[in-house]
Structure 1
């Protein structure tokens, strides 16, 4: 047996706000406590008289998580809530990069063939009713996620290599996860799956009649399948994602109030099992009594909230907002703030497999897709919308990663080159109305496409307008189509769009590309929105996933990048630097490139607060 010790460590440059000496408070950022992985803000040495001493963190964000079902959630905001209300076997270590144990005592013991991973759960870990968390709950969790009737297509691809989980015959807190093949994310993937209570979610123990192996190719017409159908119907019920009365997790916080579109209020649980831990774990801490997530979309409103000290933290400010706030000496007195590179990527998905009816056969041609990429003024958008605080990616892999293909070149804005490609693809302006057209399946089709984007924030609207304006000289009409985030995500999974603006939240860990790039993920309406993929690319992705030797794996990742670069299924835009603020009344603040960028549960009221000693005792 061996212990996993290899973590992927990346060096990142930090971008902190630049102010003149009289504009910048000396405590806004600690130069002594920054390094290439994160920013650690110095605790303020002075308590200001107008600071609130309530042990409540109010965190600003731009949108609701929409749905908080523990297997069927779909976005990063929901994952943030899960990280506070649920527990995972392991987590991505935001500060040190790599994997850290959470509900497990330690990282697993691994067999010599890299197929068997043995874990032991924390002795202290219990459910809210006091019953211990055991291997039974772990096994149930992965059966529930693998069940073909569970509404979690995005998550299923990550579990395709999971063979079985074997409970220890003596220790109910020990188990061994068995994989079908060696897999680059055999441990890392577990950070995406909160552990569920079998007793709460399956009181009749229906899934005990099925093995993990049974869940693949399950005959839903077989004898006894009705029980499984009834269980899944109940398990998929919207109440488990919408009604706080039905939220149940092992984390130190619980959702007490959810005012849709406004706030989510998390309350620290009393006498939670984490208080008995013998060793501190940043990802199981719960220093704030409450953590309130507050939706504020308007930039001016956010600035007013900061100036009135109505919010304590944010990782969702626009660059323009933070730069303007940092010119205010009072803001700098009250807040630590900074910019740091991220692993997030903004992109435009192109529908490569349109139905030909609602969505015309436009982006099924690679020449058209490349032309649209050449008509997207990414450099101008970076300067105008992010004030230069962003990095372009020519690929799906971050340039910060060792897997990045340096041979891929950034595409310029080039109307002439785009026009040539469109003409080669048969798009001409036959009726001289300045919009190209083409006969497709006997029908004259205009080169007009809808561009779906989220309504959160003014910058999105401005950016889409810039893209539409930049494309028009080439005879292309782009029609902006603003949507609520939840509606847009439904459209994306249903392939109901022409162009769609989105963002990926990746990490420094080796990637499993199947979730976004496998053809199976498109067929199952997973996260492959555009329809990229064929048998050859699927085989390459499988080879990447099952190759643990970096000397062999990294060249394959670079080859996949080249294939996707040439196919142009997406327009890769840019990665914005994360914008983070933390009120100085809280100490112990560390901000990171890894999501969510800030460990909110680790914030402590500084010593000047009248209740700091009591709060920090927790």
Structure 2
């Protein structure tokens, strides 16, 4: 009975896939593991949503995934930068061809409106207000409606990207009554609290928060090359290229403006078994995050070798174990170093990742050769070394476990390890660590929690150990939020309690240093200090596991999210 039902459901599923894109134009078919849920450019909540939004809306600048370089997108060129004391000025000019779907040009006023959206009260924009807090004002050119200058507090190298890394939204579409047109951006920032009680901003918020901007195909429109043609919630989304897109008119367009596919179909397939069935029957052209065993089997199967190219690019997703340095049992760094020697990283990479992971000495990726501290040795799995370090930290091994007086009271070294429920890698890593610790007489309790529950425990500092993934990029090394002692208080993002005046000074210099050689020395010193303190035990950088149909040409594979660029691809007939 079970086999019959499974077969019937599979046939129904494949029939639905074959009927989901009725069009003369063939579509590139991509697997999504979850529904985007919301395509509101302010309040989208997951990675699939952001991936779709990047086809529809555009920012001033973008990253070329073929070489990880910052390139102008809506902007005609990279900004000119002027620095005066504690203020920096970034001047942009928007491409003369750039226009909205109604034929009106994209102007500096649209940029100003977008910044106002990021900072207006009563909108779901708190994360953006924090991220772009350094932009204090916008100045308009008297000579061109497409030229403007962003006035910023201070200067850090990552501002070169961040000043142009937000969606530029059509003011005429989001604010047809021009409610914000006469309200200066600087005033919104200065009078944020008082403006939230005004009828003007209440009316504006009511308009912006309407569901249509999150999923209505008539309203989800930007300056990008694609429109949302159809969205069947929980099933599929179809993007179609605009026939009269402005980027087609640019002479000898740069790579970033190239948009080849006429249709892209995103199939929402949360179940891995269903997604793999679709892949194996060629109902999908692109699938990432393939389960390890299946990826290895398909990659070695001659049948699938003829149908797909297989990739495992290293990503910037950093996997680590965090230790609570503010916990009395773990405040001595020798204790934390001892626990680091109980993590068998080669075993984890070999047995759980099939060798498809990149070991690292810290949170700088090894491929960033200028900044990675290659002279720093990897922490080895060494239980005997762990014993020695525990004794040096004042612990004594007794018949009832490792004990010492902590703050005048006898303590036994017992630990709780948190990991995200449903993450099989973290679960298996936790079991391995528990086994290694047990062999030394250290009891470890495992606690699987939802991600939000783990965040609550970390913010309140009620934890011993945890496994987590930090999504990073090679464009910014401003690690002050994560590692500076000023953020170590309860509720702050430095949850492990890392740091001292020396590391704080390193972090502050790294954040503003522009010269590669000087920044390299600072980052290498930081990596050394982090290994000595062992508040974060680095495990590896993840590698994606992808299959791309051989019917596609020129798909760019990348270590940056989402792991591929389809806009340059062509579908063979």
Give the TM-score category using the shorter length. 0.7 to 0.9
- Given the two structures, how large is their TM-score scaled by the length of structure 2? 0.80
Partner of 1:417: 385
Rounded Cα–Cα distance in structure 1 between residues aligned with 2:443 and 2:113: 52
User: Per-residue deviation at 1:99?
Assistant: 0.8
Q: Do the aligned residues in 1 keep the contact of 2:75 with 2:94 (CA within 8 Å)?
A: yes
Say if 1:60 and 1:169 are closer, same or farther in 2 by CA, change over 3 A.
same
Alignment deviations for residues 328-357 of structure 1 (CA, whole Å, 9 cap, x no partner): 11111111223333333222333445xxxx
Counterparts in 2 of 1:308-457, with a 5 A limit?
A: 308-352=281-325, 362-401=329-368, 402-422=370-390, 432=400, 447-453=414-420, 455=422
Alignment deviations for residues 423-481 of structure 1 (CA, whole Å, 9 cap, x no partner): 5556667782x68797679797772314222525x444333322332332231314140
User: Per-residue deviation at 1:325?
Assistant: 0.5
| Gapped regions of structure 2 (runs ≥ 5) | 1-22
RMSD: 4.0
Alignment deviations for residues 90-145 of structure 1 (CA, whole Å, 9 cap, x no partner): 11111133211111122223448794332211233333444432212222333443
Specify which of 517, 537, 540 is matched with residue 571 of structure 1.
Answer: 537
Say if 1:424 and 1:327 are closer, same or farther in 2 by CA, change over 3 A.
same
Q: Do the aligned residues in 2 keep the contact of 1:244 with 1:258 (CA within 8 Å)?
A: no
Q: Given the alignment of the two structures, is residue 294 of structure 1 paired with residue 265 of structure 2, yes or no?
A: no
User: Per-residue deviation at 1:583?
Assistant: 0.7
Secondary structure at the residue paired with 2:29? Answer: strand
Rounded Cα–Cα distance in structure 1 between residues aligned with 2:487 and 2:201: 23
User: Per-residue deviation at 1:308?
Assistant: 1.1
How many residues were matched structurally?
543
Partner of 1:31: none
Rounded Cα–Cα distance in structure 1 between residues aligned with 2:120 and 2:391: 48
Partner of 1:23: none
User: Per-residue deviation at 1:319?
Assistant: 4.0
Say if 1:459 and 1:406 are closer, same or farther in 2 by CA, change over 3 A.
closer
Partner of 2:571: 605
Counterparts in 2 of 1:269-280, with a 5 A limit?
A: 269=242, 271-280=244-253
| Gapped regions of structure 1 (runs ≥ 5) | 1-51, 354-359, 610-618
Secondary structure at the residue paired with 2:547? Answer: strand
User: Per-residue deviation at 1:397?
Assistant: 0.8
Q: Do the aligned residues in 1 keep the contact of 2:260 with 2:570 (CA within 8 Å)?
A: no
Rounded Cα–Cα distance in structure 2 between residues aligned with 1:436 and 1:527: 31
Say if 1:471 and 1:236 are closer, same or farther in 2 by CA, change over 3 A.
farther
Q: Do the aligned residues in 2 keep the contact of 1:303 with 1:325 (CA within 8 Å)?
A: no
Counterparts in 2 of 1:132-171, with a 5 A limit?
A: 132-145=105-118, 155=128, 158-171=131-144
Secondary structure at the residue paired with 1:601? Answer: coil
Q: Do the aligned residues in 2 keep the contact of 1:153 with 1:525 (CA within 8 Å)?
A: no
**Greater mean deviation of Cα atoms: 99-108 or 301-310:** 301-310
User: Per-residue deviation at 1:190?
Assistant: 4.0
Q: Given the alignment of the two structures, is residue 580 of structure 1 paired with residue 546 of structure 2, yes or no?
A: yes
**Higher relative contact order structure (alpha carbons within 8 Å, sequence separation ≥ 6):** 1
User: Per-residue deviation at 1:531?
Assistant: 4.9
Rounded Cα–Cα distance in structure 1 between residues aligned with 2:40 and 2:562: 19
Secondary structure at the residue paired with 1:566? Answer: helix
Counterparts in 2 of 1:535-550, with a 5 A limit?
A: 537-550=503-516
- Given the two structures, how large is their TM-score scaled by the length of structure 1? 0.75
Specify which of 83, 87, 92 is matched with residue 119 of structure 1.
Answer: 92
Rounded Cα–Cα distance in structure 2 between residues aligned with 1:124 and 1:583: 34
Say if 1:509 and 1:223 are closer, same or farther in 2 by CA, change over 3 A.
closer
Say if 1:419 and 1:107 are closer, same or farther in 2 by CA, change over 3 A.
same
Rounded Cα–Cα distance in structure 2 between residues aligned with 1:243 and 1:521: 37
Say if 1:57 and 1:371 are closer, same or farther in 2 by CA, change over 3 A.
farther
Rounded Cα–Cα distance in structure 2 between residues aligned with 1:567 and 1:66: 41
Q: Do the aligned residues in 2 keep the contact of 1:91 with 1:101 (CA within 8 Å)?
A: yes
Rounded Cα–Cα distance in structure 2 between residues aligned with 1:505 and 1:593: 11
